[in-house]
A and B are shown apart, each in its own frame.
Chain A
Amino acid sequence: MYNDKNSQKIVDYIQNWTRKHSIWVLAYGTGCGAIEIPPTMTSRYDSERLGIRGAATPRQADVLLITGYLTVKTLKRVIRVYEQMQDPKYVIGFGSCTINGGMYFDSYNTIKVLDKYLPVDVYINGCMPRPEAVIQGFVKLQKRIGEGRATGAKHYKENLEWYRANQKKIIPNWVMPEYNW
């Protein structure tokens, strides 16, 4: 029965539906974006009504929310956190810094394009994006999850070497444990 395609579809559908409506966010509060998370979570915008709530550790989280610019030093930690998260997992890039460097376009220690290093499922642009935008981003992600199109993690796994090469290019002293989740 498990191998039956139709029933597999149903199982997948249910799974995706639950995943869609239960998004536990690990907010990696880099840069100024972290200030936008409290209003998103609390009374005014109340993301919990969509099933979005914070998670304290990467082991429990579904979504890695990167709120702003990432320096090289921070990127190392973010990669580590991402790899500690359990499947299925998604990444949301938040703010223009994650998209093209934003105002840090010529900074000597800030990465400009996040998706070269981590598989970003949804970008939310703006500097800073307001909570409405954040929630819209989440909804977008939910939609993609529901459709089964949020396959960033799978992509990462498949193209691990490429990602790793990119990461190692700017982190020459690579002392992290090897890939695990």
Chain B
Amino acid sequence: MELFINILGAIVTFLVAFIVGMTYGGLNRKITARVQNRKGPPFYQNFIDAFKLSSKETAIHHGIMHYLGPAFLMVSSVMTLLIVPVFTNNGWFPNLNFKGDLIFLIYIMTFGPLGMALGSGQTGNPNAAIGVTRGLSQMVGFEIPWVMALIALMIQYHTTSIEGLMEAQAQTGTWFMFSSPFAFIAAILAMFGMFRYSPFDIVSAPTELASGPASENGGKYLFVMMSSGSVFTFAKLTLYVDLFLGGAANLPVLLLKTFALYLIPILYGMTTPRYRTEQAIRWFWGWPSFFGLLAIIQAVIL
């Protein structure tokens, strides 16, 4: 029975994440349009796109890995969602969050992109492989400040589990955003790379690489990738909220906090032109890593 409830909770979480993620994507497009002095698409445009893609026919595939690539991607995002506690009191969605910890999370987050990369690789499209290597290179870049921030939190509160960190946050009463500001800054800067919005979108540069890893994926493949991306967005934002913004007790607060966080990379991206890969990597190893280092020093001192 408990298992059944768990599974049910997982499904509900997934649906919520899907809807919220899709909406955020639409809002992103809307906000971008408004910033560019356009009317922009409606906020539900992403839903339309997704359903259209799902109803598009798919007549060809390039082999088994290409076929299953999006499934790998989905595993990664759904697992991330399952491990991140959605609400602080755990009442609604009792997921798997007590079964994993941050290191597991970091690794499961890379599972999907790599599986997808194999799928793209099998298509034989050189653009796909080039995009993948760019993405992986960029990942090496942003993982450094991201891990630094996480480690700073871990060593300060002597736990590697997300729950443990959230409890510590609840006990101190201060959000880590304020008590560990450097870690927060480093993590946020790393998040720019994680979302691959504007300055770091060379991975799928549409005009240069023909959308990179996804260049051979249309129809249902793209639909699954898109949903996975939405779920992943939500999961990552929730993780940030849990770690730095004191978590959220109910859905409105969660939405508020996640959306506030979501605005940061979007707004940064709108004002910044695209970096080349090595520029992006060096950017991440510059100030973000410096803040990460400060965070670790702060954690060691405290």
B33 touches A48 (CB 8 A): yes
**Residues of chain A within 8 A of B49, CB atoms compared:** 22, 24, 51
A49 contact from B39, B52, B57, B210, Cβ within 8 A: B39
Alpha-carbon distance A22/B219, docked complex (angstroms): 13
Residues in B neighbouring A60, C-beta threshold 8 A: 211, 214, 217-218, 222
Shortest CB-to-CB span from B127 to chain A, Å, is 8
Q: 8 Å CB contacts to A: which residues of B17-37?
A: 29, 33, 36-37
Which of these, A21, A43, A57, contacts B211 with CB under 8 Å? A57
Smallest CB separation, B193 vs chain A (Å): 21
| Chain A residues closer than 8 Å to B215, beta-carbon distance | 56-57, 59
Please name the residue on chain B nearest to A16 by beta carbon. Answer: B55
Question: Is A180 on the interface with B (CB-CB < 8 A)?
Answer: yes
A85 (CB) vs chain B CBs: closest residue: B218
- The bracket for how many chain B residues form the interface is 20 to 34
A22 to B46, CA, bound (A): 9
Considering only residues 62-80 of chain A, those with a C-beta below 8 Å from chain B are: 62
Q: Which of chain A's residues have a CB closer than 8 A to the CB of B29?
A: 48
A46 located at the interface, meaning its Cβ lies under 8 Å from any Cβ of chain B in the complex: yes
Q: How many residues of chain A get a CB closer than 8 Å to chain B's CBs?
A: 28
Q: Give chain A residues whose Cβ lies under 8 Å from the Cβ of B201.
A: none
Contact of A18 among B33, B48, B209 (CB under 8 A): B48
Proximity string of chain A (139-181) to chain B, C-beta cutoff 8 Å, 1 when within and 0 when not: 0000000000000000000000000000000000000000011
State the main secondary structure of chain A at its contact with B.
loop
Residues of A close to B37: CB separation below 8 A: 43
Residue on A with the closest CB to B38? A46
Nearest Cβ on chain A to B39's Cβ, whole angstroms? 4
- Nearest residue (CB) in B for A60 is B218
- Are A180 and B60 within 8 A (Cβ)? yes
**Docked complex Cα distance between A57 and B39 (Å):** 26
Cβ-defined partner of B218 (8 Å) among A14, A48, A51, A86: A86
**CB<8 Å pairs between A and B, sample of 6:** A21-B52, A43-B38, A49-B39, A56-B206, A60-B211, A60-B217
- Residues in A lying within 8 Å of B, measured CB to CB: 14-15, 18-19, 21-22, 24, 42-43, 46, 48-51, 53-57, 59-62, 86-88, 180-181
17 more A-B residue pairs beyond the given contacts A18-B52, A18-B55, A86-B219, with a C-beta to C-beta distance below 8 A: A14-B51, A18-B51, A46-B33, A46-B39, A48-B41, A49-B33, A56-B215, A57-B211, A59-B217, A59-B219, A60-B218, A60-B222, A62-B52, A87-B56, A87-B57, A88-B56, A88-B57
